[in-house]
A and B are shown apart, each in its own frame.
Chain A
Amino acid sequence: MKLKLASSISSPQDLQALISEIRNYARWYGHNAIKLRLHAKTKRHGGQAEPELSPAAKEVLAGWGKHDELTRRELDSLINELERFARTAQEITITLAAPASNSIKQILVAWCRDNIAPDILVNFQFNATILGGLVVRYRSRIFDWSFRRQILEARGQFPEVLRHV
């Protein structure tokens, strides 16, 4: 079984939320399985309703099970795999000039997973002073492709450009 994350699960926070959601679902699933066995003996219905899962969680659960119905053991192994993934996954931070919308996040995460590593996690931050572009940080290395950096680097060319105006 191979873990396949949706592009909406981009950051470690998203991954932790997914793990928590899966863990709740697994807990409910265990309780519900016990109740189902009891109801089968007593012919009575009842118990806690099935928790609402996010599309990303549904996608992960659909891609994880071997069969149509997941077992408690498969859910536990999925949680273990997600926790292991959270510990070992590569993580980068992208800083934008404004809070990133979901569409922007998905575009950038998809690019990173297609071109860098399929299991990479991306943190998003914003800083208005960079004006535009993006700043990528991976551990201690920073790639600054912001407008501010470009303006400061091209500052010496402004007089030359203004002379030709």
Chain B
Amino acid sequence: MSGFYMQLFLYLNVFLMGALTAVAIRHAYAHFRPHVAEAEKHPVTMQNGHLPPAVREHLLEAAQANFQTVLDRSAKELSQDLEKTSAQINKLLEKHGTDVINDDLQHYRSRLAELQKQTEAGMSKLQAGLSTHQAELDAEFIAHQAEQKAKLAEEIAAEKQRLLQQIDTQLADAVGSFLLDTLQHNVDLGAQATYLTSMLDEHKADFTRGLADEAKTSK
């Protein structure tokens, strides 16, 4: 329904525009060709009949002078108006350009500030992450270092103990061999008589028990 009214409205507009265009062309034509028509309607021969040539010449010169004056003044005013308009246009353009640039700059600055904030936030986050990671690495390094130190100390202690054990063993072997080689010469049993009986007395219980056990097992 609304489409129908819209079409009707458009057709009406077209019609009015055509009528207005025809009227405008007629007026324009009448405006630009008035003298030709007047000249055709009132031939010179009729004016020549009412005004003398001198007056007519004088009027023509005066009209030309007036027309020239009006034309000059109009040109001058047009030139002045054109200059003013140009100045205003320049001023407006400059103002408009300045406003546009200011707006762009403002927008750019706000955008830049936002990006800077985002970057700072990212940098802060990254810095925090880096700090955390650095702390973790430091803690891990310290733990690893402590572990390595403990392990190294343990290995050193074990190696030291092994070397000490080896030295003790070799020393014991050397002393034992020395004693065995030295004492097996010039054995004096006479000096050992008391020692022998005291040793038998000392081990008497084990000795008699061992003999009894052996006698039982032999039976």
Interface residues of A (CB under 8 A from B): 90, 92, 96-101, 103-104, 107-108, 111, 115-116, 128-129, 131-134, 136, 138-141, 143, 145, 147-148, 151-152, 155-156, 158-159, 162
- Asked if B152 is at the interface of the complex by the 8 Å CB criterion, the answer is no
Contact residues in A for B7 (Cβ distance below 8 Å): none
**A141 CB contacts on chain B under 8 angstroms:** 210-211, 213-214
B168-A134 in contact (CB<8A)? no
**Smallest CB gap from B183: residue in A:** A131
| The residue from A99, A115, A132, A148 contacting B192, defined by CB atoms under 8 A apart | A132
| Most B CB within 10 A of own CB, among A99, A107, A147, A155 | A155
| CB of B91 to closest CB in A, whole Å | 110
Q: Which of B175, B180, B199 contacts A131 (CB 8 A)?
A: B180
| B165 shortest CB reach to chain A, Å | 10
The 6 closest A-B pairs by CB, nearest first: A159-B168, A155-B172, A97-B187, A158-B175, A131-B183, A98-B187
Interface size class of B (residues with CB under 8 A): 35 or more
A159 neighbours in B (Cβ, 8 Å): 167-168, 171-172
The main secondary structure of chain A at its interface with chain B is: mixed
Q: At the interface, yes or no: B46 with Cβ under 8 Å from chain A?
A: no
Q: How many A-B residue pairs have CB under 8 A?
A: 99
- Nearest A residue to B202 via CB reads A145
Q: A108-B196, A131-B184, A143-B210 are in contact. Are A115 and B204 (CB under 8 A)?
A: yes
Hey, which chain A residues are within 8 Å of B207, CB to CB?
116, 136, 143
At the interface, yes or no: B208 with Cβ under 8 Å from chain A?
yes
Q: How far is the CB of A104 from chain B (nearest CB, A)?
A: 6
Asked if A134 and B196 make an inter-chain contact with CB atoms under 8 angstroms apart, the answer reads: yes
Scoring B residues 167 to 199 as 1 if CB is less than 8 Å from chain A, else 0, what string do you get?
Answer: 110011101100110011101111011011101
